[in-house]
Amino acid sequence: MTRHFLRDDDLSPAEQREVLDLAARLKQDRFAERPLEGPRTAAVIFDKTSTRTRFSFATGIADLGGSALIVNPGEAQLGVKETISDTAKVISRMVDLIVWRTFEHAGLEEMAEHSRVPVINALSDDFHPCQILADLQTIREQKGELAGLTATYVGDAANNMGHSYLLGFVTAGMHIRVAGPAGYHPRADIIAEAEAIAARTGGSVTVLTDPAAAVAGADAVITDTWVSMGQESEKAERIETFGAYRVTPELMAQAKPDAIFLHCLPAYREYEVAPEVIDGAQSVVWDEAENRLHAQKALMTWLLAQA
């Protein structure tokens, strides 16, 4: 059966571990897996802008022996002149993988339902699961075994990153705490799903409003932009709302002394994170960005092996 990766919980704990193990191997031995040799083609479609996702998928597909067909916003009939299901039926007869960054998560579900080949979510309004695989790889490099570690995500806990941290980190058996202002907490169904996974893996989920309490004793502190793609018209209001959630050296001091700092990037040093933190000794953001390449190559290899 064709497997897709639309949400973090599309991989079981054991499957997520397999992908992370393979990601570590591919980081050591870049051309060890060649599932797209031919070259076979992978479509990488963007409805929103991107730097890391674009470069990591294009490079990763080439490393796996394949050819990336990058489709920029507005370049395809998809969603404008043609339904998502018709596009899925057509392109999945030609390409071996579909990677799509879009707005509504339901669009990805429709694409997957009608595709003969694996569909990968390269970010939707609700989830960014490829980023979480890279974050897990980065934390494992720094801290070893993931299960039992505590990570705190501070800021917009209702966005795609907030949701994906909940699902992806409890799948790894971690304790995930999120802190955001009232009205910006994760969706109730995602909290419930994360709690159900945590009950099986030994992880836990804590949703708070106080950033200092959430960061206390954490192994990793994480944030993201306060203004996600598509929310630009709310910028002034959001900067006001999230002002108390900026990750400063003082907030980092509440975490463990050897805590690491992560940010999926792009980052705004004037808003969600102070330069002293993101450019300081505790920051692992450049490893985190590089690991997008290795984690996604592992994911593509794993998905293609299930078909």
- Residues taking part in catalysis: 101, 128, 131, 224, 264, 292
Asked if 225 interacts with ligand CP (CB under 6 A), we say no
Q: For residues 67 and 50, give the distance between their C-alpha atoms in angstroms, rounded to a whole number.
A: 19
Residue 291 token pair: 């690991």
128 marked as part of a ligand binding site: yes
The site for ligand CP, by CB under 6 A, has a size of: 9
In sequence order, the 6+-apart residues with CB closer than 8 A to the CB of 295 are 19, 20, 23, 130, 133, 134, 136, 137
> Which of 2, 12, 51, 306 forms a contact with ligand CP (CB under 6 A)?
51
CA–CA separation, 147 vs 158, rounded Å?
24
Q: Is 102 in the site for ligand NVA (CB under 6 A)?
A: no
Q: How many CA atoms lie within 13 A of 219 on its CB side?
A: 19
By CB under 6 A, is residue 53 in contact with ligand CP?
A: yes
Q: How far is the CB of 298 from ligand NVA (least distance, A)?
A: 20
Contacting residue, 16, 50, 124, 282, with ligand CP by CB under 6 A: 50
User: 51 contacts which partner out of ligand CP, ligand NVA, none, CB within 5 to 8 A by kind?
Assistant: ligand CP
Query: Please, which residue, 27 or 105, has the CB nearer to ligand NVA?
Result: 105
Binding partner selected for residue 225 from ligand NVA, ligand CP, none, CB under the kind-specific 5 to 8 Å limit: ligand NVA
Contact indicator for 44, 32 with CB cutoff of 8 Å? no
Residue whose pair of structure tokens reads 């404008």 in the numeric block: 80
**244-273 binders of ligand NVA (CB under 6 A):** 264
Reference 61, options 88, 43, 73; nearest CA is: 43
Which one of 6, 61, 161, 190 is in contact with ligand NVA (CB under 6 A)? 161
Residue least distant from ligand NVA (Cβ): 228
Classified as helix, coil or strand, 99 is strand
CA atoms of 123 and 267, how far apart (whole Å):
16
Which parts of 107-146 interact with ligand CP (CB under 6 A)?
A: 123, 131
- Name the one range near ligand NVA by CB under 6 A: 135-143, 156-164, 202-210, 281-289: 156-164
3 state SS of 275: helix
Task: Find the binder of ligand NVA among 115, 138, 171, 225 (CB under 6 A).
Answer: 225
Comparison of 124 and 282: residue with beta carbon closer to ligand NVA: 124
Contact predicate 247/277, CB 8 Å: yes
Amino acid at 7: R
The DSSP symbol for 39 reads T
| Residue 161: closest CA among 228, 101, 98 | 228
State the binding site for L-ornithine: 160, 224, 228-229
Binding site for ligand NVA (CB under 6 A): 123, 128, 159-161, 224-225, 228-229, 264
State the binding site for carbamoyl phosphate: 50-53, 77, 101, 128-131, 264-265, 292
